[in-house]
Chain A
Amino acid sequence: MKKVQFSGIAPPLLLIAPQMAIVVIFFLWPAAEAVRTSFFIQDPFFGRAVFVGFDNYVNAVTRSDYLRSAAFTGVFVTAICAISLGFGLLFAVCADEVLRGEGPYKTLLMWVYAIAPPVAGLIGVMLFDQHIGPLVDFFAFFGWELQTGVDYWDTAFAMTVVAAWKQIPYNFIFFLSGLQGIPRSLREAAAIDCRSPARRFWTVVFPLLAPTSFFLLVINITYAFFETFGVIDVMLKGEPGNNPVSLVYKVYLDGFRGQDLGGSSAQSVILMVGVMLLTVVQFRFIERRVHYA
C-alpha cells in the first residue's frame, strides 16, 4: 500500500466528506430524530407535537402486543441462529470431507449464495403456499394442516424456516472456508490422538472454527433481528392480523400503519439499545473464549 502524506488537514477531510455525509444523513440524523420523536406524541397530519417524556416508552413496554412480539422475536432470533448455523456447519463438514482441494466443486456449491435474497424469500413463500406449496403437502402427509398466514404458530414456523433457510448458504461458505483453513497435519495429529471422529471434531476442529463461529453468530443475530423484515413482509402479504411479527416489523406497523410515530420511535430506540447491549455481551463473554490462531 502506498502511503501519502498530506500537507494540510483540508485534503483528507475533503476525501472522507462523501462517506461522512452518507453516515450523517442516513444513519446519525435519523437515529437522533428517532430519539427526539420518541419523547413526543406527534400528530401525523402536520399538527402539533406534544412532549410526553417517557410515556411512549412506558406505554410500549407495558402493552401486551409489544411483549408478545418481543417474546416471539426472542424465539425467532434464537431459532434462526440455531437452524442456520447448525445446518451451515453440518453441510460445510459434509462438503469438506469430499472437497479437499477440489476447486470446481467448491465454486459450484457457492453458487447457492449468489441467488438474490428476495428471490430466495419468494421461493420460500411458494414452498409454503396454501395451494401450490410442496411443503404444505409434505406436512399434510403427516397430518399437519399448515395454514400459513392464518394460524399464528404455522406462520411463525414458516417464517422461521424461510428466514433460516436463506441464511444457510452464507454460513456454509464461511464454515467451509474455515474448515479448509485448518492444516491437514493438525487433523492427522488428532487422528493419532483420538479414535472417535465425533470427539475429534468437537475437541479440535470446532474450537479452531471458533473465530468463524463467533463472527457468524454476530452476523446471524443482526440478520435475524433486522434483515428478516423482507421475509416477514412477503409472508404476511401486508396483512399482519393475528400473525406473529418481529419487533422490527412492529416498529414499521405502528409507525407507518398505525401512524403512532412517537410510540414507534420509542420501540426502535429500545431495540437499538437492546441490540447494542447484546453485542457488548457477545464480545465480552464469548469472544474471550475464542481462540484466534
Chain B
Amino acid sequence: MTPADGSRGGVPTLEITGAVKRYANGHLAVKGVDLHADEGEFVVFVGPSGCGKSTLLRMIAGLESVTEGEVRLKGRVVNDVEPADRDIAMVFQNYALYPHMSVYDNLAYGLRNRKIPKPEIDRRVREAAEMLQIGEYLARKPGALSGGQRQRVAMGRCIVRDPAIFLFDEPLSNLDAKLRTQMRLEIRRLQRRLGVAAVYVTHDQVEAMTLADRIVVLNGGRVEQIGAPVEVYNAPASTFVASFIGAPAMNLFPAEAEGGAIRVDGGSAPAPARARGAVTAGLRPEKARLVPAGGGLPFTVETVEELGATRLVHGHVGAASFVVSLEAGVSPPGETCAVTADPADVHLFDRGSGARL
C-alpha cells in the first residue's frame, strides 16, 4: 500500500509541476497541475469530459505542447522532447493500430525504428504475444481482429517497447460491458507483473477505483483531489469528488450544523463536531440507515428499486433527493421514516465553495 502522498523515495517516474495548457484559441484546458507517479505506480486521471484529463495525458506523451510548467520523466525534463524519444508507450482509445501491417509488424514497427537487432525484436514480440495470448494472430491484419483482440495488440505494442511509463487514453471505452470488466482486470494484472508505472485516463469512476494505486480527480482543468481510491472514497475533498466517486452517488443536501449534529426540517442526525452553521452535508447511500420517524432526518419513501444484492430506496431529505441502500430483504420501517448514520460517515462541506470541512 502506498502512503498518502504516494512517495516511495527516489526519483519519481513521472513528475508534473505547474502544468498549464493554453490552446491557440485562448482556451485554457489545464490550469496548473502538480502531480507525480512513482515507479510501478498506477495513476488514474478521472473526471467528466472536458476536465483536461486527456490533454494532460497527451502533454505527458508529447502529443500536446506544454504551455507552462514542466513535465519530467525519470528526472529528465521532456517538455521539448519528441514523443518517440520520451520512453513512453501509449494505448489509444481507438487503438490506432496500423491497418496495413500485420499484428507482428504492428508490434515490431517501433523497435525496428529504434534499430534494435532482429532476433531481439522477434524475441520481444513473441514474448508479448504469448503474454497477451495473441500469438496465433501475429500474421493477421488488425482489420481481421475483434475489438478485444485489437485491444491486446495495442497493449502488446506498448509492452514490447519496455517503456518507463504506460499511457492509457480511455482504452476500454470501445468495448462492451463484459469485455471491459475482463480487460480491466487484465490491464491491472499485466501492469503489476511488469512493474511499469502507468497513467490511465477514464471518465468511469469504477475503472478509476478498481485500477488505481492513486486517483487524480480532475475538474475544469484543475486537480480536485489526489489520493488512494479508499481515501478519495472515504474523505472526498469537495462536493464534486463526493458526487463523482462512488455509485450510487453520495447524497448531498443542505443542512444546519450545530457541533456534533446536523439538522434538517426539525429532525437531526449525529455528525462530526467540526462545523457550525449552514453546510452541505454528505452521506453515502450505503452508510445511511433508515429508522422510525423521529429518530433522525425526516424521510419519505417514494420508490424502491430492487437490485438483488441491495435495494435502493429513493426519497427526499428536505428539498434534496436522497437514496438509501438497504441490504436485500430489508424493508424501510415505514412510508414516513427518518435517516440517520454514524457521525464518522457524515461528510460536511462548505455551502459556498464545496470544500470539505
Contacts and interface: CB of A to CB of B under 8 A. Distances in A.
B99 A293 contact: yes
Interface stretch (B85-93, B278-286, B334-342): B85-93
A100 interface: no
B83 A191 contact: yes
Interface string A39-83: 000000000000000000000000000000000000000000000
Nearest to A191: B83
B99 A194 contact: no
Interface string A174-215: 000000000101101111111110010001100110100000
Contacts of A196: 113
A193 to B, nearest CB: 4
A193 B100 contact: no
Contacts of A192: 61-62, 83-84, 86, 88-90, 110
Interface string B45-75: 0000000000000000111000000000000
Nearest to A195: B84
Given A291-B99, A293-B99, 17 more contacts: A185-B94, A188-B61, A188-B90, A188-B96, A189-B96, A190-B98, A191-B83, A192-B83, A193-B110, A193-B113, A194-B109, A194-B113, A204-B98, A208-B100, A210-B100, A291-B100, A293-B100
Given A208-B99, A208-B100, A194 B94 contact: no
B5 interface: no
Given A195-B82, A199-B113, A185 B93 contact: yes
A207 B88 CA distance: 25
A195 B88 CA distance: 13
Nearest to B143: A293
Contact of A189 (B85, B86, B98): B98
Contacts of B89: 192
Interface string B263-276: 00000000000000
Contacts of A193: 84, 109-110, 113, 157
A159 to B, nearest CB: 37
Interface of B: 61-63, 82-86, 88-90, 92-94, 96-100, 109-110, 113, 141, 143, 157
A165 B97 CA distance: 37
Contact of A183 (B62, B86, B94, B113): B94
B99 A191 contact: no
Question: Which of A188, A195, A210 counts the most B-chain CB atoms under 10 A from its CB?
Answer: A188
Nearest to A185: B96
A189 B85 CA distance: 13
Contact of A191 (B63, B98, B157): B63
A203 B94 CA distance: 20
A162 B61 CA distance: 46
Nearest to A190: B98
Interface string A135-152: 000000000000000000
Nearest to B105: A203
A207 B99 CA distance: 9
B108 to A, nearest CB: 10
A293 B62 CA distance: 27
A3 B63 CA distance: 48
A191 B92 contact: no
A286 B100 CA distance: 15
Nearest to A203: B109
A186 B96 contact: yes
Q: Which 5 A-B pairs have the closest CB atoms?
A: A193-B110, A189-B96, A185-B96, A195-B84, A291-B100
Question: Which of A188, A189, A203 counts the most B-chain CB atoms under 10 A from its CB?
Answer: A189
